[in-house]
Amino acid sequence: MARRESLFVRLTVCLGLLLPGGCGGAPAAKASAVMGDAPEVHYSFVIDAELRTLSATVCPRDLRLARLRMTVPELLERVRRPRILRAAGDVPLTFEEDAVPIASATDGACIGYDVDLGPPGEGFWITHGDAHVLAAPDVWLLAPEPRPRGTHFTASFTLPPGVRAALPWPEDPRGYRVPTSAFTMRSAGAFGQFERETLRVGGAELDVVALGGGFGERAPLVTEWLQKSASALTQLHDGFPVPRVMALLVPHPGSEVGFGMALRGGGPTVMIIVGSSVTPEALDEDWVGVHELFHLSAPRFLPSDAWLSEGLATYYTDILRARAGALDEHRAWDDLVDGFRRGSRRGTGRTLRQESIDMHETHAYQRVYWAGAALSLLADVELRKRGVEDGLDGPLRELARCCARSEEAWSAEQFAKFVDEKTGQSVVQPLFERYLDRADFPDTTEVLAALGVNGTGREMTLAAEAPRAGVRSAMMAPRAGSTRR
């Protein structure tokens, strides 16, 4: 039986691989184009044939720029030759810390800069593959300051023949409209030759981009897997929780689905490593797709509250896969119980709050993810026990409707207050307060016994006569009105 323990092995490896921590080819538009009366900043990008250098021109209209800021300071060395573009000759600019100051005397002039997209420095930010480069906008999109409310940000690209852009940005008559979240949140993007198709799931569009030439004869299987993963979200939400998602699939040697990331900058995106020789069995067993897509149904949380964001996603991954028919009830409960067991045995003795803050240094992922999942279970069952028919489901639907696309990071305290107010029950705030500053793992023994979940693995039984057996079955049952794929 496949276990999610392999995630945490892959996570440690892939963080080293991925982290140092549309309409392609649209012609560059003239900077004098007018978009109503609002200020505008237009970016024109040109990429060379080797996908090694990007040249940018930034042209403001009705807006005086004070500076252009690098959103990832550690990549500052990749930005070259910042300059004011003048017909009589360019005027060099210089960086001060992580920004390029722009003198007021240059009001109305366009600013140019170049970005090195070539190696070294392979990782999440820049990775070269077969006829493509994975290049996050964080590397090449310098953020203009100030950014007054109502300012239009647009972009156009001049790309080599056969090269396209894969970005989560919405299309615009000038190429793309750049959402303000592209300047404030982590994002993903790629340039090159790739396979692309659009899936429709739960009223939303899934823009699927497969880098590296795609998956050949396996492509239909990969497409079906991604569509099923997205459809699982409709077992919780009224349709898919956001209107459009870019799914950036990165082929990698192997036969399994690997590491994934949910990103929000510029638009909802999931980036997932998929084995270039992935098997049907591996796709059927996979949970990464559901897990990463679930993240997009809630607002982003503060890094210190990773236990909450990852815990909710970890808990609901099994719940939603069971509701969608990808797991039977026994298997779903076994996965959860096994995860709680592993999470309780891992960690460094820190409090859950501190473990979350330090997990990329300590690699205590199992402790953080599964402690958060255990708290999700405790909250869900307690709410149902108090007569909230669908437990956490209802508040999470409300949260998706109001705040899934918020640019503001939520705290665990905000989330707890939101759920308790929506349900009219004082459940989540006291629960979080009880465990957040403790080092012991949340105790699920009593709750699991009441649900009738006994033992693990082949010895696990689901007792029909347990006090809350009906609650247990309801938690995993298909949502009323939904259809299993």
> What CATH number is associated with residue 153?
2.60.40.3650
Q: pLDDT-based confidence at 17, cuts 50/70/90?
A: very low
Average pLDDT, integer, range 328-341:
96
Look at residue 21 and tell me whether its pLDDT is greater than 70: no
Look at residue 83 and tell me whether its pLDDT is greater than 90: yes
Q: pLDDT-based confidence at 480, cuts 50/70/90?
A: confident
pLDDT recorded at residue 456: 86
The residue with greater pLDDT, 110 or 29, is: 110
pLDDT recorded at residue 5: 60
- DSSP letter at 392 equals T
What tens digit of pLDDT does each residue of 420-472 get? Answer: 999 999 999 999 999 999 999 999 999 999 999 998 888 899 999 999 999 99
Average pLDDT, integer, range 279-286:
96
Judge if 309 and 165 occupy the same domain.
no
Look at residue 297 and tell me whether its pLDDT is greater than 90: yes
pLDDT recorded at residue 4: 62
pLDDT recorded at residue 36: 53
Q: Between vectors from CA 332 to CA 327 and to CA 338, what angle results, nearest 5°?
A: 140
75: three-class secondary structure by DSSP: helix
For the ranges 24-33, 386-395, 400-409, the lowest mean pLDDT is seen at: 24-33
Judge if 175 and 309 occupy the same domain.
no
Q: Per the domain annotation, does 16 fall within a domain?
A: no
- DSSP letter at 62 equals S
299: three-class secondary structure by DSSP: coil
Q: Of 146, 179, 212, which marks where a domain is finished?
A: 179
Average pLDDT, integer, range 374-391:
97
Residue the block writes with tokens 């079906």: 224
Distance CA 231, CA 246 (A): 15
pLDDT recorded at residue 484: 59
Q: pLDDT-based confidence at 108, cuts 50/70/90?
A: confident
Q: Per the domain annotation, does 410 fall within a domain?
A: yes
Query: What is the chain's mean pLDDT, rounded?
Result: 90
Q: Per the domain annotation, does 254 fall within a domain?
A: no
Distance CA 183, CA 326 (A): 38
3-state SS record for 10-39: HHHHHHHHHCCCCCCCCCCCCCCCCCCCCC
pLDDT recorded at residue 37: 74
Q: What's the whole-model pTM score?
A: 0.90
pLDDT recorded at residue 104: 72
Q: Per the domain annotation, does 289 fall within a domain?
A: no
pLDDT recorded at residue 19: 36
Q: Per the domain annotation, does 110 fall within a domain?
A: yes
pLDDT recorded at residue 35: 44
Residue the block writes with tokens 């005027």: 91
Identify the burial level of 59 via C-beta atoms within 10 angstroms of its C-beta, where 0-12 means exposed, 13-18 middle and 19 or more buried.
buried
pLDDT recorded at residue 33: 38
pLDDT recorded at residue 71: 87
Report the helix count and the strand count for the chain, using DSSP H and E. 14, 22
Asked if 212 contacts 251 with a C-beta cutoff of 8 angstroms, the reply is: yes
For the ranges 70-74, 216-220, 395-399, the lowest mean pLDDT is seen at: 70-74
pLDDT recorded at residue 103: 81
pLDDT recorded at residue 3: 54
**Order of strands, edge to edge, in the sheet holding 171-172?**
91-92, 79-85, 110-116, 53-61, 40-47, 152-158, 175-177, 171-172
Asked if 223 contacts 197 with a C-beta cutoff of 8 angstroms, the reply is: yes
Total domain count, the chain: 2
pLDDT recorded at residue 18: 39
pLDDT recorded at residue 212: 85
Q: Per the domain annotation, does 231 fall within a domain?
A: no
pLDDT recorded at residue 123: 66
Look at residue 102 and tell me whether its pLDDT is greater than 60: yes
Look at residue 16 and tell me whether its pLDDT is greater than 50: no
**Containing domain of residue 474, as a range?**
302-485
Distance CA 232, CA 221 (A): 17
Q: Per the domain annotation, does 233 fall within a domain?
A: no
462: three-class secondary structure by DSSP: strand
What tens digit of pLDDT does each residue of 130-156 get? Answer: 889 999 999 999 999 999 999 999 999
Highest mean pLDDT of the ranges 69-73, 132-136, 335-339, 480-484: 335-339
Q: Of 164, 179, 194, which marks where a domain is finished?
A: 179
Look at residue 477 and tell me whether its pLDDT is greater than 70: yes
pLDDT recorded at residue 22: 30
For the ranges 124-128, 184-188, 212-216, 262-266, the lowest mean pLDDT is seen at: 124-128
Q: pLDDT-based confidence at 72, cuts 50/70/90?
A: confident
Look at residue 294 and tell me whether its pLDDT is greater than 90: yes
Judge if 159 and 308 occupy the same domain.
no
The rounded percent of the chain whose pLDDT value lies above 70 is: 90
Residue the block writes with tokens 């699920």: 444
The residue with greater pLDDT, 109 or 227, is: 227
Look at residue 372 and tell me whether its pLDDT is greater than 70: yes
Q: pLDDT-based confidence at 122, cuts 50/70/90?
A: low
Tokens coding 109: 């002039």
pLDDT recorded at residue 2: 46
Q: Per the domain annotation, does 279 fall within a domain?
A: no
Look at residue 214 and tell me whether its pLDDT is greater than 90: no
Q: pLDDT-based confidence at 14, cuts 50/70/90?
A: very low
Judge if 307 and 444 occupy the same domain.
yes
